[in-house]
Each structure stands twice: as C-alpha cells, then as structure tokens.
Structure 1
Amino acid sequence: MFMILLLLVPVAEIAVFVQVGSRIGAGMTVLLVVVSAVVGVWLVRRQGLATATRVQAMVARGESPALGMLEGLALLVAGVLLVIPGFLTDIAAFTLLIPPLRRGIIRLYLRHMHLESGVTHHPPGTDKPGRTPLEGKSRRVD
C-alpha cells in the first residue's frame, strides 16, 4: 500500500499543479504553495509547543501521556507533509492541524489497530477483565 501511495501521490500532485496553474497562472501557483508551506510550518510549530506543554502537564499529574504523544506524532507528520510541495499533501497536513480532526483521526487509527482510545487505569490488586497468564503459574506482585 505504501509503495502505491509513493507512486500515486507525485502523479496526483502534478495533475493538480497543472489544473491550478492553468487557472491562476504558474507564478500564483508557486506563490500559493510557498505561502501554504510557511503558514503551515508556523501552525505546526505553535501547536507542537502547545502539545509538548500538555504532555508535560499530563506527566506531572501522573497521567499517561500516550494520547498527547500521538498528537505530537500527528503534528510531525503534518510538518513533513507541509515540506513536500503540493496541494494534496498540504490539504492532508492542514487536516492534521485542526485539533478536533486530528484527535478523530487518532481515535480512528487506534480503533483500527484494536487499541483503546483512552487509557484505563486499574487500581493495584485488581486484574484487567479477561486477562489470563499465557502459560505456567503466576502471581500478581504490586
């Protein structure tokens, strides 16, 4: 799947460049790509710092920073997409820069990977439902 995307994305980007360039001109097309990259990088930096602060606060409160770290990873992906010239990659990047959409995409990814979307805390001494040892004897040590 990755190889197909690696081949199709540049072809699609070129097709979009040609369509946009034929409508607004080559110079305006290049300017639009540069402006979207500059604005996007500024937004990634700003949201990245906010996410880092949120993750630090989660750690300070003793909460799992897993979701915050996934948001940071999504922002990193958005930054990489913004560096790649093109309108389709910019649209994907800006989608990741909208916090509710980014969180929704992360939740869909977690569901797709059959992971919990949130962190469930179990008090010491209680077992997780349906969890059994793989083999042999075991005892819980807290």
Structure 2
Amino acid sequence: MAVVFLLYVIAEVAAVWAVGSAVGVLGTIGLLLAGAFVGSWLARREGGKAMRAFVETARAGRPAEKELTDGMLVALGGVLIMLPGFVSDVIGLLLLLPPTRSVARKIWLRRAEKRAIRFANQRRGPVMVVDSEVVTEDHPPPPRSSQPPIIEGRVIEG
C-alpha cells in the first residue's frame, strides 16, 4: 500500500510539473482551482441523484446495493477532486461520470463479494449454498420432505 501511495505522489508531482512547464505557474494554479470548482459542482449534482435513487429504491423495498455503491463512489470522486493534483482530478472525474462509475461499481461489487466469501471461509470453514441454505462441513443439508417442518420448543412468557 505504501508503494502505491508513493507512486501516486510521484505521478501527481510529474503531472503538475508537466502542466506547469506547459502553461506556467498561474495557469497551473488556475487549472487546479477550476478543476476543484467544477468537480465539487459535479459531485454535488451526482450525489443528489444518487441520494434520490437510494431513497426511491428503499421506499420500493428493493435491495439498494447499486445505489449505495454509487453514493460511495460519488463521495470518493468528490474527495479526489478536492485534493490538489491532476491525477486525482482525473480519477475523481471518472468516478463522478455515470458511464465510468458503473464500470467502477461492477469492479467494486465483484471485489467485495470475493472478499466476503474469503472472510466467511476463514471464519467458519468452507461454506456452500444449496437452495438458499448454508451448508458447511459440520452441518450437512437437511433431508427434503413435502411436509413443512414441525418446530418444537418452549414458549417463555414474561
């Protein structure tokens, strides 16, 4: 992770240096400020859209992982745009635009699903899902019957 951060800092310095040598110091500062203003406006607009989509989906009672991930990616894009530098501005802009955000969302959800499965396997051993029932090595799947199961137990009143 430290290597990635170091490479990011080197890329930012190189980008600012290249733009500064092409347009000058004042032009570079102007571009950085313009990127921050345009990016914050775009982040606010896209964040509002993501929030409205989340509220609409929640009211309809549907799963909202797409809308939550969109909101998270918009927030991350807004933070990246507010950081000084051209590399972070480009990455933040890509996260704010809907077509590229959908690609990032698919990658993010696929990665989160793999990590969740890996975490579950580390915590309780290999897990397999059979007909919406979790099956582990310790607990084989229950036998199937046409009758609904009878649940016995005590009722505790208090």
Superposition TM-score, scaled by structure 1 size: 0.80
Q: Note closer, same or farther for the CA distance 1:66–1:130 as it changes in structure 2 (3 Å cut).
A: closer
Instruction: Specify every segment of 5 or more residues in structure 1 that has no aligned partner in the other structure, as ranges.
Output: 116-126
2:62 match: secondary structure = coil
Task: Give the corresponding residue for 1:3.
Answer: 2
Q: Note closer, same or farther for the CA distance 1:128–1:73 as it changes in structure 2 (3 Å cut).
A: farther
4+ long deviations beyond 6 Å: 137-141
Q: Note closer, same or farther for the CA distance 1:69–1:130 as it changes in structure 2 (3 Å cut).
A: closer
| Matched-pair contact (CA < 8 Å) for 2:74–2:95 | yes
Task: Give the corresponding residue for 2:41.
Answer: 42
Task: Give the corresponding residue for 2:59.
Answer: 60
Q: Note closer, same or farther for the CA distance 1:56–1:105 as it changes in structure 2 (3 Å cut).
A: same
1:133 match: secondary structure = strand
Structure having greater relative contact order (Cα 8 Å, sep ≥ 6): 1
Q: CA RMSD in A?
A: 2.4
Q: Which entry has the higher C-alpha Rg, 1 or 2?
A: 2
1:63 match: secondary structure = coil
Aligned residues: 129
Kindly, what percent of the aligned residue pairs are identical? 27
Question: How far apart are the structure 1 equivalents of 2:131 and 2:28?
Answer: 56
Instruction: Specify every segment of 5 or more residues in structure 2 that has no aligned partner in the other structure, as ranges.
Output: 115-128, 143-147, 150-158
Q: What amino acid sits opposite 2:53 in the alignment?
A: R
Cα deviation 1:38-81 (Å, max 9, x = unaligned): 11011101110111010000011110111100000001110110
Task: Give the corresponding residue for 1:133.
Answer: 135
Superposition TM-score, scaled by structure 2 size: 0.73
